[in-house]
Amino acid sequence: MKRIGILGGTFNPPHTGHLLIANEVLHGCALDEVWLMPAAIPPHKTTPGDATAEQRLRMVKLAVNEMEGLRASSFEIERGGVSYTFDTMSQLVEEEPEAEFYFIIGGDMIDQLPSWYRIEDLLKIITFIGVRRPGAMNTTELPVQLLETPQLDLSSTLIRQRFLTGGTVQLLLPTAVEAYIREERLYESSRHSK
């Protein structure tokens, strides 16, 4: 049975921290693959002027292009609508009966897990892998397999702010993603002043 990790998120933009987590879980939990899956309409995060779903997917594809074992998944974007983990994973489990799924979450999400939509049903079909995050409690009563990974306190918000103010983004995200952002003129002040 194929062991597949799912790392969901807005990936607005995808950065070095996402790749570090995905790669650490891939190897640390002996998974066959980790899919980075951008949300179509994330239930918690929407900001005017953000990259479109298609642009976020393109950036994820560029980010994982040369990373063995990591791949971009358009699953949630193709489904459309608000992305709840239970709905996504129920459909994936049905479509991929030969796979065992592991859902990767950061410490901030571990803290919020009890409030997730249909969490008890979700726990019956997937295994959670939690990675600690600076500033989060990183604790829950729910069954989460915790994996110690190097911690990188990096956010997409910081990177968008750097693009907005002309700051450096070198080493914070893959070169191909940076080039794409500049080419598409994402996160510039004109887009954020609407």
Within 13 Å, how many C-alpha atoms sit on residue 62's CB side? 20
> What integer pLDDT is reported at residue 110 of this predicted model?
83
* Paired residues of 82 in beta bridges: 41
Q: Report residue 79 as tokens.
A: 């489904």
* Side chain identity at residue 93, one-letter code: V
Q: Give the CATH number of the domain where residue 147 resides.
A: 3.40.50.620
Residue-by-residue DSSP string for 19-45: HHHHHHHHHHTT-SEEEEEE-SB-SS-
Q: Would you tell me the crossing angle of helices 16-28 and 53-64 to the nearest 10 degrees? A: 60
pLDDT at 190 over 80: no
Structure confidence by residue, pLDDT tens digits, 101-143 = 999 998 778 888 899 999 999 999 999 999 977 666 667 788 8
Cα 78 to Cα 25, 60, 81, 132, 179: the distances in Å are 25, 15, 9, 30, 25
Mean pLDDT for 21-32 is 97
Count of domains observed in the chain: 1
Task: State which residues form the domain around 11.
Answer: 2-192
pLDDT at 65 over 90: yes
The residue that leads in pLDDT, 81 or 59, is: 59
Q: How confident is the model at residue 192 (pLDDT cuts 50, 70, 90)?
A: very low
* Paired residues of 36 in beta bridges: 7, 72
